[in-house]
Amino acid sequence: MKNASSGNSSRTGLHLQGMTRRSLVKSAAAAGFTLPVLGKSAVFAAPRRTVRQQDAEKPASLNMLYATVEADVEAIKLAIPDFKAETGIEIVLDSQPYDALQQKVFAELAVDSPYYDVIIVDTPWTPALTGKLEPLSEYLTNEALNDVSDPALDDFIEKVFFDTAVYNPTSPNLQFPDPSAVDVEAITGEGFEIYGLPLQANALVAMYRTDLFENAEGMAAFESEYGRALAFPETWDEFTEVAKFFTRPDENLYGTTLMAGNGDWATDDFKTLLAAWGGDGYMVSDDFTLAFNSPEGVEALTYYADLINEHKVTPPGVTSFSWDDASAAFTSGLTAIGMNYHTEVLAPDVQGNISYALVPEKVTRGPHFGTWMLSVNKASQNKEWAYRAANWFTNGPTQTKMLAAQLHPSRKSAYKAAKTDENATKFGNFYDILGQSLALGVGRPRLTNYGAVDKEIWVAVNSAATGSMTPEEALQSAADKVLALLQEAGYPVS
């Protein structure tokens, strides 16, 4: 129980238990607080600023907790040797699959465990974690700490940066009012903070089989049936027609994949459509009014369910698809169109080619996006070096290098580099489309219990998709439950 507060020990110096004298001195030096208990060691007592500029002892290694697949662990592995060459610090990497990672991150932070110095954080977790992650504004503006790498904040895709890293410490539910330029002083001036540096940015993109779309016979047949040229659809109305056109169950070919199974992916499909239909893609607004059961929401979900049940343009079993099922369906040649968060490679027995496109629009576009950021554990005993690592691993050159392992960069310079980098160009226009999608992306509501809210919405999407409920009923039922959840979490709902 005592150790529950050991993360604060560097502040108060009261909990000596479990810490060596040396590490205590070290962390005290880092935080710059007086430690009367140590008697003569009180020479370390110095104003915060000066100590900050004085270099904290360089650790031999830093522990980093990372996501195996979702944030592309291979990319980080590529860069680790370079970081060692640059700084002499070994990164001890521990990667976990998504659920385990989330559990681990929350568990480590909840008990203020100093074990991990740098932690990868997914957007939906951040509202609950702001108290446990080190605010970085002072680090970012401290010249001395940017000796290894220049943070170059204006190089981040603004939308990605604000959605991922900028939170109000006292009201973590708030979105930053003006996300047009990344400026530390403007952020702190509004009472916001920066809780990490974005790295892997995922957004929903569409992909299609050019061999099918450019098939002469098919093109002619489409044109005679619909009176326009066959091309990847710009709008959702066209999307239905194109998907219908390619749906040929006899040939084992269907129009499109969707991710309608139980899971976060179904919510993300829905909120993409909700935003496209002109609704509030965040689903719950800043003042906690529900925005997903609006008329736009009902229309969007009706469209979604109709693709499956009315037009039948999806492969069998789509209502239990997750993102990997959707990926498998597209890559095995089962569908002409796919929508997912990454590059695809067709299975060896499928002859064909892939091109990428923006997810279609209705009245507008708002593909779902979410980004992983590298954050510094507040309880870490090497916060300054942890910051340097987070900064270095997310900088432009490192991100560009990580393209070799298909990182989805968060920096504009990396997208510029991707135009000519053959690691990126071998995926055709993927990076171009990803960059555009990120600029249009719509994030998630900032709720500490988003996981529970998410689940009620995906159940609604899945229920409508399987036809067990009408879209209205499903959304209404979810709305009642979400309202109760918001109340439970202590949010002021009317």
Partner 1 sequence: MKPTREESNGIGWALVTPAVGVLLLMTIFPALYLLWASFRRFNLMMPENAAFIGLENYRNIVTNADIRHSMLVTILFVVAAVGIELVLGLLLALMLAPKSRSNAAAATLLILPMAVTPVVSALVWRELFNPNYGWVNYYLRKIGIMGEPIAWLSSPQTAWFTVISLDVWQWTPFVALILMAGLQGIPPEPREAAAVDGAEGWRLFWDVTFPLLRPFVAIAVLLRTLEAFKTFGTIRVLTGGGPGISTEIINLTIYRTALQDFSVGAGASLGIAFLVFLSILVPQMLRVLARDSDLVEA
Partner 2 sequence: MRHTPGQRILTALSQVALWIWVLLAMVPLVWMVTTSIKPEGYAQTIPPTWQFQPTLQHYVDVLEGAAVTPFGPLLLHSLVVAVGSTALALVLGLFAAYALARLRFKGKRFLAMWILSTIMFPPVVAVIPIFIMAGRLQLIDRYLTLIVPYAAFNLPLVIWVLRSSIRQIPEEIEDAALVDGASRMEIITRIVLPLAAPGIATAGILSMLLAWNEFLFALTLTRSQVKTAPVGISEFTGMFGTQWGSLSAAATIIVAPVVIMALMLRRHLIEGLTLGAVK
Binding site for partner 2 (CB under 8 A): 1, 3-4, 18, 65, 68-70, 73, 94-100, 103-104, 107-108, 110-111, 113, 115, 202, 252, 323-324, 327-328, 331-332, 334, 341-342, 347-349
| Closer residue to partner 1 in complex, CB, 353/468 | 468
Residues 355-394 that bind partner 1 (CB under 8 A): none
Q: Which residues of 94-112 are buried (b: 16+ CB within 10 A; e: fewer)?
A: ebbeeeebbebbeebbebb
**Least Cβ distance, residue 108 to partner 1 (angstroms):** 11
Question: Can you tell me which of 41, 54, 106, 218 binds partner 1, judged by CB under 8 A?
Answer: 106
- Cα–Cα distance between 330 and 207 in angstroms, integer? 9
449 binds partner 1 (CB under 8 A): yes
Tokens of 473: 């009923």
**Least Cβ distance, residue 114 to partner 2 (angstroms):** 10
Which among partner 2, partner 1, none contacts residue 129 (Cβ within 5 to 8 A by kind)? partner 1
Q: How distant, in Å, are the alpha carbons of 354, 355, 413 from that of 338?
A: 10, 10, 28
| Closer residue to partner 1 in complex, CB, 263/441 | 263
**Least Cβ distance, residue 216 to partner 2 (angstroms):** 26
The answer to whether the CB of 93 falls within 8 A of the CB of 64 is yes
Question: Can you tell me which of 316, 353, 363, 426 binds partner 1, judged by CB under 8 A?
Answer: 316
459 binds partner 1 (CB under 8 A): yes
Which among partner 2, partner 1, none contacts residue 113 (Cβ within 5 to 8 A by kind)? partner 2
- Cα–Cα distance between 473 and 471 in angstroms, integer? 6
Question: Can you tell me which of 41, 54, 332, 470 binds partner 1, judged by CB under 8 A?
Answer: 332
Overall size of the chain counted in residues: 494
**Three-state SS at 33:** coil
Beta-bridge partner residues of 335: 254
- Cα–Cα distance between 439 and 369 in angstroms, integer? 9
| Closer residue to partner 1 in complex, CB, 102/188 | 102
**Least Cβ distance, residue 312 to partner 2 (angstroms):** 18
69 binds partner 1 (CB under 8 A): no
Residue type present at position 185: E
| Closer residue to partner 2 in complex, CB, 1/43 | 1
Query: In terms of C-beta density within 10 A (0-12 exposed, 13-18 middle, 19 or more buried), how is residue 464 classed?
Result: buried
Q: How distant, in Å, are the alpha carbons of 24, 69, 90, 374 from that of 77?
A: 31, 12, 12, 14
481 binds partner 1 (CB under 8 A): yes
End-to-end C-alpha distance for the chain, whole angstroms: 38
Question: Can you tell me which of 371, 448, 475, 483 binds partner 1, judged by CB under 8 A?
Answer: 448
Of residues 29, 34, 73, 79, the one with CA closest to residue 55: 29
Which among partner 1, partner 2, none contacts residue 449 (Cβ within 5 to 8 A by kind)? partner 1
**Least Cβ distance, residue 106 to partner 1 (angstroms):** 6
Name the DSSP letter for residue 161. H
**Residue 449's CB: how many other CB atoms inside 10 A?**
17
Please tell me the count of residues contacting partner 1 according to CB under 8 A.
41
199 binds partner 1 (CB under 8 A): no
Which among partner 1, partner 2, none contacts residue 104 (Cβ within 5 to 8 A by kind)? partner 2
Strands 193-194, 166-167: parallel, antiparallel or unpaired by DSSP? antiparallel
